[in-house]
């Protein structure tokens, strides 16, 4: 029995050490996000700033609609200009070659604010795409092809 209790205490110590070192690492990496930006979803559109200044930015996602939505957030390749980016989004998608091989997704059911946020170090000249790839049913179109896309320019 004592042995079990000791193991438990050792476990607690490790957990606390882990939390402490994570805390100091995040403090060392700099200030908290300078900005929090809300992306709102409805049927079938995003409400988000068209432009944002550079800087560390936290994106939160709120679904004000009546069906589930997601926001895929990704950065266009530097070779893609604003006009081309807009044409991709108007078509409801972008080829993999036009974007970074990374990105993030936030998902929210109706009336829900996703409790996760996406943290991005925005840099001047970047273009970010917002796309919802959800469908209301398997035989229905993707929300993106109904106009649920947006572009954010960093400048
Ligand atoms: Cu959607």
d(CA 99, CA 84): 12
Integer-rounded Cα radius of gyration of the chain: 20
Ligand 1 geometric centre to CA of 4 (Å): 50
For the chain, what percent of residues have pLDDT higher than 90? 77
d(CA 110, CA 69): 8
pLDDT in tens, 23-40: 333 444 566 777 999 999
Domain ranges of the chain: 1-30, 32-154
Residue owning tokens 């179109």: 141
Mean per-residue pLDDT of the chain: 85
Q: Which SS3 state, helix, strand or coil, does residue 5 take?
A: helix
pLDDT at 147 over 70: yes
Q: Per DSSP, what are the bridge partners of residue 61?
A: 39
Ligand 1 geometric centre to CA of 79 (Å): 28
Ligand 1 geometric centre to CA of 99 (Å): 20
Ligand 1 geometric centre to CA of 22 (Å): 35
pLDDT in tens, 57-95: 999 999 999 999 999 999 999 999 999 999 999 999 899
Ligand 1 geometric centre to CA of 27 (Å): 36
The model's pTM is 0.79
CATH 3.40.50.450 fits 32-154, yes or no: no
Ligand 1 geometric centre to CA of 129 (Å): 14
Residues 28-62 as b/e (b if ≥16 CB within 10 A, e otherwise) read eeeeebeeebebbbeebbbebeeebeeeebebbbb
Ligand 1 geometric centre to CA of 37 (Å): 18
pLDDT at 3 over 50: no
Identify the pLDDT of residue 24.
Answer: 39
Ligand 1 geometric centre to CA of 75 (Å): 19
pLDDT at 15 over 80: no
Ligand 1 geometric centre to CA of 115 (Å): 18
């Amino acid at each position: 029995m004592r042995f079990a209790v000791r193991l438990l205490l050792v476990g607690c110590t490790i957990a606390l050490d882990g939390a402490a070192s994570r805390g100091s690492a995040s403090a060392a990496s700099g200030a908290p996000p300078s900005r929090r930006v809300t992306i709102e979803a409805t049927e079938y559109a995003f409400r988000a700033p068209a432009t944002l200044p550079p800087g560390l930015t936290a994106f939160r996602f709120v679904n004000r609609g009546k069906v589930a939505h997601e926001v895929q957030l990704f950065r266009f390749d530097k070779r893609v200009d604003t006009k081309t980016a807009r044409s991709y989004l108007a078509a409801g998608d972008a080829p993999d070659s036009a974007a970074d091989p990374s990105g993030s997704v936030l998902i929210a059911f109706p009336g829900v604010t996703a409790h996760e946020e996406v943290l991005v170090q925005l840099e001047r000249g970047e273009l970010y795409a917002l796309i919802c790839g959800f469908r209301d049913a398997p035989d229905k179109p993707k929300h993106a092809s109904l106009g649920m896309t947006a572009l954010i320019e960093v400048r």
